[in-house]
A and B are shown apart, each in its own frame.
Chain A
Amino acid sequence: MEYFLELILGGLTRGSIYALIALGYTMVYGIIQLINFAHGEIYMIGAFTALIFTSVLTLLGFNEIAVIVLASLAAVIYSSAYGYTVEKIAYMPLRRASRLSPLISAIGMSIFLQNYVLLAQTSDFLPFPNLIPEFEFIKPYRHIISSPEIVILITTSTAMILLTFLIKFTRTGKAMRATAQDRNMAMLVGVNVNRVISITFVIGSALAALGGVLIASHVGQINFYIGFVAGIKAFTAAVLGGIGSIPGAVLGALVLGLTESFATGYVSSDYEDVFAFGLLVLILIFKPAGILGRVTARKV
């Protein structure tokens, strides 16, 4: 029973990290129908920024809490700036082009950013310090859940609650929903659509950066390629839940995380991906629009 609980909590932790990244995919897709393949790289850049800031801040003698907070903040700001710039350079000029062009541009951006980090940093795995301290109160339950897992669960759920609030109730959120439903009409009622798209990229990138910091600190090492793998997983989660749907992305990510966790726990960690992608194949066969996705009839 305890083992089962441990797997569940492990799966939820993994799932909530996927969710942070998947949200970026699904929000961008919802608004401009683009699969932003460079999104995983934004996550990777977040992790690298956090690593650099952690090293510098620790050298300068800041205390543990200050290091975590400042490094995460720096990662969020840097990644948002990258996300914003990528959209302006690679996608905005192609707004009126066919849907394939920005997709290819996205793949190009992904390759470019990977190699840019490879050149600017290194191709080796870099050790990432464990930023999250051991809590005293967690000691008796250590065999079930670790401190980093608790921090990840709390941070991600807070981020998701904030995001839901933002989209449901704020002026910006309404503009985002309106743009997603009918971009031209949103423009005609006076919404600055380009701005809304920029904001979407910034929010998605900030969430991905947060995910990057948390997972890097949990796993303990990073390299320039982590964005690709995480990106594919998060993309799978978004498709699983129904791409374009925000609750769908979270649900898909949690389902994916739990599946992987159980596959690792009861079968073998070698089969983790087999189960994850097997699940995707099954969902796509029986519910092609994803768990929460709606089938939209296209007018001919």
Chain B
Amino acid sequence: MNTILEVKDLSMDFGGLRALDHLDLNVVEGEIAAIIGPNGAGKTTFFNCITGIYNPTEGEILISPPGKKRKKINGLKPNRVTKKGMARTFQNIRLFSNMTVLENVMIGRHCRTSSGIVGAILRGRSTIKEEKDVVDFSYNILKKTGISHLVNEFAKNLPYGAQRRLEIARAMATEPFLLLLDEPAAGMNPRETRELDELITRLRDEDNVSILMIEHDMKLVMSLSDRIFVMDYGRKIAQGTPSDIINNPVVIKAYLGEDIDA
């Protein structure tokens, strides 16, 4: 098993507030890992650090994409990180709402294509082929995520569940080796959550993408994850398989508070 993401001793300060405190975490190829923890534990901050939105105060973030050399990605801009193969979705949906579903996914192909303005105006053979490939590729992703019947709708007109799927489709269009999902099941009803469970498993099995997700829905986390990391106050307080975590007293304490009698 190869480690594809290695985070060592990561800290992030906002002024005097330490949002992440010497965090160590790694993801191995082909796994579905989850990060859980109470609100304000620093989970989203962690995602922001590893995708280049924040530049961490201390620590190292290393990636080893399958078949490529290990590389440090601290301080890289978000678009460079995406190009290196890490894509993410957001807790609060952030689609390009005035673009169609297809265009949203096509934007994800931007970093994997190259034709420029001159090519677009001259309509050379390579440009036309590239444009066709992008459409085909995007359409296939939409099919896989189950929203291909909505291609020409504006993203803002989609029902909530479909918007969530579109976010995943757009992230998948960048061909990531690691997909970061920030609360993918937030606001979903039980049936939508079950379908999401299937979708994530299918992406892992068929598209060779590893998954790291932040999620509050414990049922989903327990059924889906190979490993779970638990965070509290910017620190990692536990890690292990779902059955390890469910019986871990430290975790129970973080979620429910300390028993007064104990």
Contact = CB atoms under 8 A, between A and B. Distances in A.
B135 to A, nearest CB: 11
Most buried by A among B94, B112, B130, B131: B94
Most buried by A among B87, B90, B120, B171: B120
Interface stretch (A170-178, A218-226, A279-287): A170-178
Given A174-B110, A190-B108, A185 B79 contact: no
B70 interface: no
A166 B110 CA distance: 15
B99 A192 contact: no
A162 interface: yes
Interface in B82-119: 82-83, 87-88, 90, 94, 96-99, 103, 106-108, 110-113, 115-117
B117 A192 contact: no
A172 B83 contact: no
Interface string B174-216: 1000000000000000000000000000000000000000000
A189 B87 contact: yes
B112 to A, nearest CB: 8
B79 to A, nearest CB: 5
Interface in A162-217: 162, 166, 169-175, 177-178, 181-182, 184-193, 199, 203
A166 B117 contact: yes
Contacts of B113: 171
Contacts of A166: 117, 120-121
Contacts of A193: 79
Contacts of A192: 79, 111
Contacts of A172: 116-117, 120
Interface residues of A, number: 25
A185 B79 CA distance: 9
A188 B134 contact: no
Contacts of A174: 99, 103, 106-107, 110
B163 to A, nearest CB: 13
A268 to B, nearest CB: 44
Interface residues of B, number: 36
A241 B30 CA distance: 52
A174 B98 CA distance: 11
Nearest to A195: B79
A182 B96 contact: yes
B170 A189 contact: yes
Given A170-B117, A174-B106, A174-B110, A190 B94 contact: no
Contacts of B96: 177-178, 181-182, 185-186
Nearest to B113: A171
A175 B134 CA distance: 14
B78 interface: yes
B166 to A, nearest CB: 12
Nearest to A191: B110
Contact of B99 (A181, A187, A190, A199): A181
A188 B82 contact: yes
Given A170-B120, A177-B98, A189-B173, 8 more contacts: A174-B103, A174-B110, A182-B94, A187-B82, A188-B82, A189-B110, A190-B82, A199-B117
14 contacts: A166-B117, A170-B120, A171-B115, A174-B106, A174-B107, A177-B98, A178-B96, A181-B96, A181-B98, A181-B99, A182-B94, A188-B87, A189-B107, A191-B110
- The 4 A-B residue pairs with the shortest CB-CB distance, nearest first, are A190-B111, A190-B82, A170-B120, A187-B78
